[in-house]
Amino acid sequence: MNVVEPGTVDERALNLKPNTSKFQLVENNNLAINAAKAIGCHLVNIGAANLMEGKQHLVLGVAWQIIRKTLLVNISLKNHPELFRLLEDGETLEDLARIPPEKVLLR
């Protein structure tokens, strides 16, 4: 999630030691859920327990949203100036820059 928005997760807060307790695992999962929400993922009724239990449809839903955000973060005129070729008649670069990355890809 720090790839999408640097600083979203304070890595010092993560419990990465071997033999982490169940409480620490819940803390890590709560950090992940809060970070996913902070980058714009839509998580409804998903808690740390759901992730820890491995409820496949919920875990895959969260994972997909994070992957999608990671893939789209670099799609911009700044990173890919060749996107100017997608300008439509009467449209300016500023107009194109305001279009969400998903719609730019659809063009």
Q: Which residue ranges form the domains of the chain, and what is each CATH number?
A: 1-73 (1.10.418.10), 74-107 (no CATH)
Give the model confidence (pLDDT) of 60-107 as tens digits.
999 999 999 999 999 999 999 999 999 999 999 999 999 999 999 999
Work out whether the CA dihedral 66, 67, 72, 78 comes out positive or negative: positive
Task: Check if the beta carbon of residue 53 is closer than 8 Å to that of residue 25.
Answer: no
Chain centroid to Cα 70, Å, comes to 5
Q: pTM for this structure?
A: 0.77
Give the model confidence (pLDDT) of 19-70 as tens digits.
999 999 999 999 999 999 999 999 988 999 999 999 999 999 999 999 999 9
